[in-house]
Amino acid sequence: MEILKRGGNAMDAAVAAGATLGVTEPYVSAIGGGGYMTYYSAKDRKVYALDGREFGPASMKEDYFIDPATGKPLSFADAVTSGLSVGVPGTLAQWDLALHRFGTRKLGALLQPAIRTAEHGFVVDQEFYDQTATNEARFRDIVPTRELFLPGGKLPAVGSVFRNPDLANTYKQLAKHGIGWLYDGELGKEIVQTVTKPPVDPKATRVVRPGVLKTSDLAAYKALSKQPTHVSYRGYDVYGEPPSSSGGSTVGEALNILGNFRLDPRDPVTALHYYLEASKLAYADRGAYVGDPAKVKVPLDELLSQGFARERACLIKPDQAATAPVPPGSPDGQYQPCVPPGTQTRVLAAEGPQTTHLVVADKWGNVASYTVTIEQFGGSALTVPGRGFLLNNELTDFSFTPSAPGGLPDPNLPGPHKRPRSSIAPTIVLKDGLPKLALGTPGGSTIITTVLQILVNRLDLGMDLPTALAAPRATQRNTPQVFAEQAFIDRYGKALAARGHRLEVFPGPPAGVIGAATGLEFLRPGLVQAVAEPVRRGGGSALVVRPAGP
């Protein structure tokens, strides 16, 4: 709000807010991580996509997560709290690219609100306490992490003030030296030291494996400007994040599939059945075909083609759920009205559900939809000593097990300077060429279904945006079960079970809660509605510079 009030634009405000979230949500948002952004530029009336996803070290190979002692993949628990899980941070490079292309302020000026927040502190709420408690055991084993996030050896009490002077100083140094301090300078050397020689308490029994990151890997990193994904749906233009994220392609494919059906707000059960089945099919294709396009061939145009969507839609029965997992389709450009089911599919890979999302619009009509993350709550648990921030565990988003002989090749295997596949889906919707909606959410692989369900709620089921965002959720990611919030099961479970859906409460974390979305809608020229969660994760924040009324 401060940046907007002082004449900054949506990009300036998004960067300033992202930096401040690095202070107040350090377990999900930090300069030790990365993110994705879609941005509508009012000047040229176009949507852009900015990729700040981390990539792996140059020495990374397909067997990166195979334990040489056993020949088997490391467990997720062993891989995550280690230097192996840390990718080259992309956030600062993304901010630099974003501000050079679309901003009006220097990074140093935009870091000032975050510096003040880090110095003065913020009040610990239940969410911050719970996230710290979730990580307490592993935080205690990493000396600088314990010193920062367990002050005095204790969990920070709800209602206490948490300060981070180390991060304030880090931001000050970034304001002075620029992002080269990380990618080509001393901060980068300190990150590499932390990854290759994790600062573990000598008394700890936890095995914390060192990583293989080098300063040359940091120097090689670049944030990317890309063409966003685009599909037309019910007269709206829906733009999303392209690969290496699977968010835009999977949301877009599912919308294309749903476009073959009439969804009636008077029959929400049938609409939700189609939503779940379209999700199931799109997730099968996501797993088979989407990876880092710099390293693997991604048939993006075909995945988003109407012909492929029609071929997939013909598999959906109006009164019976398909048995999951379903096989992927063949986005080969040769589409028939219906095709028989295939035989090969892939199990849903692990992906941490902890990120944070923000949306911003300014008085000129620019819109930013931005998801920033260090992957799971607490990332790798490795804090750079004296710098006040955690490092990511994004490399655990890669598949751990190499493809079986004769099976489908896995597009998401580790590789040198490869970006792991993400589900992040910052989304912007235009109507008649002008912004209508912007939304996104944290939630790992549930991000896609959360964004998709909010769009269906808003565009098909007649809900206004606050209702669409607050409505109970379910997620179908090509798994045997449909995981859902209890309120969704209470409302729709019996009717959907009659169509063959197996509903279970979403296991989390946090248990029973899917996503934590934010969104905005242009109700008419000059009137924007800002929306955040009323309850999930303690509720979100939605503010405007000039409130229009009560």
Q: Give the pLDDT confidence of 22-69 residue by residue, as tens digits.
A: 999 999 988 999 999 999 999 999 999 999 999 999 999 999 999 999
Strands, E, within 150-212: which ranges? 161-162
Mean pLDDT of the chain: 94
Helix (H) or strand (E) holding 527: strand 527-532
User: H or E element: which one contains 530?
Assistant: strand 527-532
- Rounded Cα distance between 164 and 145, Å, is 12
Q: Is the pLDDT of residue 490 over 60?
A: yes
143/201 Cα distance (integer angstroms)? 6
pLDDT: which is higher, 232 or 407: 232
The pLDDT of 93-120, averaged and rounded, is: 98
Q: Span 165-183, mean pLDDT?
A: 98
Q: Does 75 belong to an annotated binding site? A: no
Name the residues annotated as catalytic: 355
**For the chain, how many residues are written?**
550
Q: What is the pLDDT of residues 179-217, one digit of tens each?
A: 999 999 999 999 999 999 999 999 999 999 999 999 999
| Across 113-138, average pLDDT | 96
> Would the annotation count 423 as a binding residue?
yes
Question: Quick one: average pLDDT of 90-94?
Answer: 98
Alpha carbon distance 460, 457 (integer Å): 6
Give the pLDDT of residue 509: 79
Q: What is the pLDDT of residues 251-277, one digit of tens each?
A: 999 999 999 999 999 999 999 999 999
Of residues 76, 24, 20, 45, the one with CA closest to residue 375 = 76
Whole-number percent of the chain with pLDDT over 90? 91
Categorize the per-residue pLDDT at 340 as very low, low, confident or very high, splitting at 50, 70 and 90: very low
Tell me whether residue 138 is annotated as binding: no
CA distances (Å), origin 351, targets 62, 210, 416: 18, 21, 20
Predicted confidence at residue 89, as pLDDT, reads: 98
Check whether the bond before 442 is cis (ω within 30° of 0): no
How many whole angstroms separate alpha carbon 469 and alpha carbon 278? 20
Cβ neighbours, 10 Å, residue 277: 28
Cα(533)–Cα(468) distance, rounded to whole angstroms?
10
410 annotated ligand-binding residue: no
For residue 397, say whether it is annotated as part of any ligand binding site. Answer: yes
The 10s digit of each residue's pLDDT in 510-548 is: 899 999 999 999 999 889 999 999 999 889 999 999 998
State the burial class of residue 480 (Cβ atoms within 10 Å of its Cβ: 0-12, 13-18, 19+).
exposed
